[in-house]
Amino acid sequence: MRLSDAARSAIVRLAGQFPQPRSALLGALFVAQEEAGALHPEVVAEVAALLGLPASEAAAVASFYHLYRFRPEGRHLIQVCTNVSCLLNGCRAVLDDLRRRLGIQVGETTPDGRFTLKTAECLAACEAAPVVMVGPDRHGPLRPEQIGEILERYA
């Protein structure tokens, strides 16, 4: 798999914003991940080459951060915050309900490829605890009975 010209030029553009192109690595990996669905080794190598880095360097950086994925996931990522403020406000019930509804465990993807379920460390939205993010959208404070309706919004 190779990155498209559009993705490659987006990465070159990112690199041009910084005094040292390597600074664009985190952003460039997201460009690649979005296009390829996951950071497959050949895609990581391509990003690295564009920024003048050894592939091993880019892979080592990618593996450090939580938001990169190395296998494809569902179309919508559901992140359930389980840290203290959300714990105190009932995130367990929300997580249990999501597991039941989707029929999957944390870290898994629904068979139709629609949702991937993950837990998250603090999402910095404790005023909305218990809080869940679906893709880029924040939902909370969430009661289990609202979950069905929210999931319906994501095809």
Partner 1 sequence: MPEPFLLKYIHEPDQGDLDAYVSRGGYEGLRRALAMRPEEVVDEVERSGLRGRGGAGFGTGRKWKFLPRDPAVTKYVVVNADEGEPGTFKDRTLMEGDPHRLIEGIVIAGYAVDAHQAFIYLRREFHRARAVLERAIAQAYERGYLGRDILGSGYHLDLVLATGAGAYIAGEETALLESLEGRRAMPRLKPPFYPAVKGLYMQPTALNNVETLCHVAWILARGEAWYREQGPPILFSVSGHVQRPGVYELPLGTSIRQVIEAAGGLRPGRAFKACFPGGTSSAILPAAYLDTPMDYDLAKLDVYGAMLGSAALIVMDDTACMVEVVARTVEFYRDESCGKCTPCREGTVWLSQVLDRILHGKGRPEDLELLDGIARGMTGTCFCPLGESVPPAIYSSLRFFRHEYDHHVRTGHCDVKTAVQV
Cα(152)–Cα(117) distance, integer angstroms:
15
Instruction: Figure out which of the listed residues 5, 103, 112, 136 binds partner 1, where binding follows CB under 8 A.
Output: 136
Cα(91)–Cα(140) distance, integer angstroms:
10
Q: Which is nearer to partner 1, 9 or 148 (CB)?
A: 9
- Smallest distance, partner 1 to C-beta of residue 111, A: 26
Residue 110 engages partner 1 in binding (rule: CB under 8 A): no
Residue 51 engages partner 1 in binding (rule: CB under 8 A): yes
- Smallest distance, partner 1 to C-beta of residue 98, A: 18
Q: Which of residues 72-101 bind partner 1 (CB under 8 A)?
A: 79, 82-85, 87-89
Output the CA–CA distances (angstroms, integers) from residue 45 to 52, 71, 98, 144, in the order listed. Answer: 10, 16, 36, 43
Residue 121 engages partner 1 in binding (rule: CB under 8 A): yes
Residue 115 pairs in a beta bridge with 76
Nearest partner of 151 among 90, 79, 78, 89, judged by Cα: 78
Instruction: Figure out which of the listed residues 138, 144, 150, 151 binds partner 1, where binding follows CB under 8 A.
Output: 138
Residue 69 engages partner 1 in binding (rule: CB under 8 A): no
Instruction: Figure out which of the listed residues 123, 132, 142, 147 binds partner 1, where binding follows CB under 8 A.
Output: 123
Cα(147)–Cα(128) distance, integer angstroms:
15
Q: Which residue, chain included where needed, has tokens 């597991």? A: 99
- H and E: helices and strands count for the chain: 7, 4
State the DSSP H helix or E strand holding residue 15, giving kind and residue range, or none if neither: helix 5-16
Residue 49 engages partner 1 in binding (rule: CB under 8 A): no
Residues near partner 1, by CB under 8 A: 17-20, 22-27, 29-30, 51, 53, 60-61, 64-68, 79, 82-85, 87-89, 120-129, 133, 136-138
